[in-house]
Structure 1
Amino acid sequence: MFVIFGAAGNVGRVSAAALRRAGREVRAVVRNGKQGDTLAAIGCEIAIADLLDPTSVARAIEGAYGVQILCPVPHANADPSTTMRRMIDVSADALRANPPHRLLALSDYGAEHPSGTGITTLFHYLETQLAPVGSQLTFLRAAEHMHNWARMLPVALARGVLPSLHHPLSKLFPTVAAHDVGLLAAELLLDDRPAKMSPRVVSLEGEARVSALDIARTLGELAHRQIAAHEVPRGEWAAMLQGAGLSENHARLITDLYDSHNAGRIDVETEVSERRFGATALVDVLASILARMAETATATGTATATAR
């Protein structure tokens, strides 16, 4: 039995589907029953768990051969750092008490740094807390997810301007499609070869690094309109993020992350990582996001730039 936490998410559902295609039993862990409907349709056992509840997490991993664990960033949370640490502690305690044969943690580029990287420091904490678990342990460190740009697309399409916290706009940075992360996670869970290092660290990014200018150009070509990348001044970051609904503490974690990004600290740790590269291109991810936006607009009868 393979247990996939966050199985309804962009990464988890791909991992669950890949494992099912391989003929493996999968327990998909979700927050509520509705999230499990599509996963149940492909033959997954559904478990409902709250990552802050030790009992439900312990129950979810019972009988597991392999576990894929993550620490989701809580939305609309006044203190996401404290909440994420509690989630990590609950999961780590359950896994130490009942270690599966194989354990894969979804982590982040830059997770080797104990401080100074904003929200990425929580992935360092995740790795640190899971290291004592008596399992064949793999940390899958992924670059920035291409799908994260989805939250900026409505603004870009409405105003013709794509805001960016990546400075300068021409700076190349690693990104990866969530689909590729999910596929590689499943592949690593199924890989029974003895690891050369413990824990095993695998990094993943797309075949080509991109800049904010590349993203704006690609989006413009897909939307058939002119879209310009805009370098948001550093002094405006906090207000912009809080205006988008983030708490003050959450906004600080994001600003610290992008300060670290722009200083070149968020990258692959080449000395210890096995490097992998995803096959999905940025243009394909942006096209799929635009298609979903258009479908939603059509279904709700809302006229948007993506429906043109």
Structure 2
Amino acid sequence: MYVVAGVSGNTGAATARTLIEAGERVRVLVRDAAKGESWARQGAEVAVADLADAAALTAALSGARGAYLLNPTGYAAEDPFRDAAVVADSIAQAATAARLPKLVVLSSVAADRPSGTGIIATLRTLEQRLAGIGLPVTFIRAAYFMENWAEVAGVAAAEGVLPSFLAPLDRAIPMVATADIGRAAAETLRQDWAGRRTIALQGPAVYSPNDVAAAFARALGKPVQAVAVPEAGWAEALSHGGFSARSIAGFTEMMRGLNSGHVDFGSDPAAEPRGKAPRPPITSAPTGRAARAELWPVARRPAGRAAWTPDRPPSSPGRNRRCHRPSRPGRARRECRRPRPAGCPIRPTPPAAARRCTSY
């Protein structure tokens, strides 16, 4: 039997489903018995325990062949770093007391870095605590969750704008779907190993905010433009989401690390890579032929207008937006200043076409 935590969330649910579908016996770990009812109908056992309660967690882990555990960040908590340390100690004590044969633990890209990673430090704490208990443990360091974009899907659908804390908008980074994390966790649980393992897990390709906006545009059948949220507006946006002051500071440092490259998927050469190797990230806008082959949307606002925030979309296309046609060899570039009610087309025209639009 395998114990799976986090079944009310994405990765835990995917792990439990994968194990059940494979014919394995599963015990799901929940804090609220009502949340275990649907799993009981699927044939799983249900154990009620809080990850911070070492005694209850020990009972839930007893008799298991292995467990998938995680330490979800409580962004509303006054001090998520302190709470993470409490949960890490509880998991370590319970796994040891229950004589758990093996552990698979969700972690994050850059958990190997000692500083400059913000909220990811909570997962570094978990890794360090569990690495010293002498049990076989595998840490799955996941890339940026694709599901993070679901938080702004409504804005994209309603306003054609995709707010992004990631920048530059053309810089591609590894991402992964939580369903793939769950499948990888279930697969790993069914394996045997000794000591400590670290898996660096990403999806089949790397993606930029512009790529994500293009995917939304295809799904919605309407133009969607990625827009970088200015760092000055991060704290306000996060506070509206219920983040505490410590969580805002931790999240801000994490995003700075992601945008600067300090939070790097390949920072630990000892980690086992899973997923397709990423293409080199784009660090600047292309020029020449490359520029004519791609659409590079960039948000711009008129001088004196307030910065974009989630409740203030960028100004509509007008005098501050221009459409440029690429110059032919030996001729100066010409501009069209005709405002377009819907902005420039979301799809780039082929490089050999007479003209294309770029929104500025």
In the alignment, which residue of structure 2 is the partner of 1:59? 59
Mapping of residues 96-245 of structure 1, within 5 Å:
96-192=96-192, 194-195=193-194, 198-245=195-242
For the 8 Å contact 1:28–1:36, the answer to whether it is kept is: yes
In the alignment, which residue of structure 2 is the partner of 1:17? 17
Take 1:240 and 1:75, find their aligned partners in 2: how far apart are those partners? Answer: 13
Residue 37 of structure 1 and its aligned partner are, at CA, apart by: 2.0
User: Relative to total residues, which structure has the larger helix share, 1 or 2?
Assistant: 1
Q: Percent identity, please.
A: 37
Q: Match of 1:11, SS?
A: helix
Take 1:220 and 1:21, find their aligned partners in 2: how far apart are those partners? Answer: 34
In the alignment, which residue of structure 2 is the partner of 1:2? 2
Q: Tell me, which stretches of 5 or more residues in structure 2 are unaligned?
A: 277-360
Q: Match of 2:114, SS?
A: coil
Q: For each residue in 1:142-196, what CA deviation from the matched residue of structure 2 results, as whole angstroms up to 9, or x when unmatched?
A: 111111111111222222211111110011111101000000101011012x45x
Q: Match of 1:43, SS?
A: coil
In the alignment, which residue of structure 2 is the partner of 1:272? 270
In the alignment, which residue of structure 2 is the partner of 1:36? 36
TM-score under structure 2 normalisation?
0.73
**1:257 maps to 2:272:** no
Residue 67 of structure 1 and its aligned partner are, at CA, apart by: 1.1
Residue 270 of structure 1 and its aligned partner are, at CA, apart by: 4.9
For the 8 Å contact 2:32–2:48, the answer to whether it is kept is: yes
- The residue identity in structure 1 corresponding to 2:273 is R
For the 8 Å contact 1:96–1:132, the answer to whether it is kept is: no
In the alignment, which residue of structure 1 is the partner of 2:78? 78
Take 1:6 and 1:224, find their aligned partners in 2: how far apart are those partners? Answer: 35
- The residue identity in structure 2 corresponding to 1:275 is P
Take 2:53 and 2:237, find their aligned partners in 1: how far apart are those partners? Answer: 33
Residue 96 of structure 1 and its aligned partner are, at CA, apart by: 2.6
Residue 30 of structure 1 and its aligned partner are, at CA, apart by: 1.1
- The residue identity in structure 1 corresponding to 2:266 is V
For the 8 Å contact 1:153–1:162, the answer to whether it is kept is: yes
For the 8 Å contact 1:14–1:183, the answer to whether it is kept is: yes
Q: For each residue in 1:76-100, what CA deviation from the matched residue of structure 2 results, as whole angstroms up to 9, or x when unmatched?
A: 3222222222112211121233331
Q: Tell me, which stretches of 5 or more residues in structure 1 are unaligned?
A: 279-308
Take 2:115 and 2:121, find their aligned partners in 1: how far apart are those partners? Answer: 6
In the alignment, which residue of structure 2 is the partner of 1:290? none
For the 8 Å contact 1:4–1:12, the answer to whether it is kept is: yes
For the 8 Å contact 2:62–2:99, the answer to whether it is kept is: no
In the alignment, which residue of structure 2 is the partner of 1:26? 26
For the 8 Å contact 2:119–2:250, the answer to whether it is kept is: yes
For the 8 Å contact 1:3–1:27, the answer to whether it is kept is: yes
Q: Match of 1:36, SS?
A: helix
After TM superposition, which residue ranges in structure 1, 4 or more long, deviate above 4 angstroms?
Answer: none
Q: Match of 2:215, SS?
A: helix
In the alignment, which residue of structure 1 is the partner of 2:286? none
Take 1:248 and 1:228, find their aligned partners in 2: how far apart are those partners? Answer: 30
Residue 75 of structure 1 and its aligned partner are, at CA, apart by: 4.4
Residue 252 of structure 1 and its aligned partner are, at CA, apart by: 1.0
Q: Match of 1:206, SS?
A: coil
- The residue identity in structure 1 corresponding to 2:72 is P
TM-score under structure 1 normalisation?
0.85
**Cα-Cα RMSD:** 1.5
Q: Match of 1:52, SS?
A: coil
For the 8 Å contact 2:26–2:45, the answer to whether it is kept is: yes
In the alignment, which residue of structure 2 is the partner of 1:284? none
Take 1:243 and 1:185, find their aligned partners in 2: how far apart are those partners? Answer: 33
- The residue identity in structure 2 corresponding to 1:70 is L
For the 8 Å contact 1:109–1:142, the answer to whether it is kept is: yes
- The residue identity in structure 2 corresponding to 1:129 is R
Q: For each residue in 1:96-142, what CA deviation from the matched residue of structure 2 results, as whole angstroms up to 9, or x when unmatched?
A: 33331111111111110122101111111110000122322111111
Instruction: Give the aligned length.
Output: 275
Report which of the two structures shows the higher radius of gyration computed on alpha carbons. Answer: 2
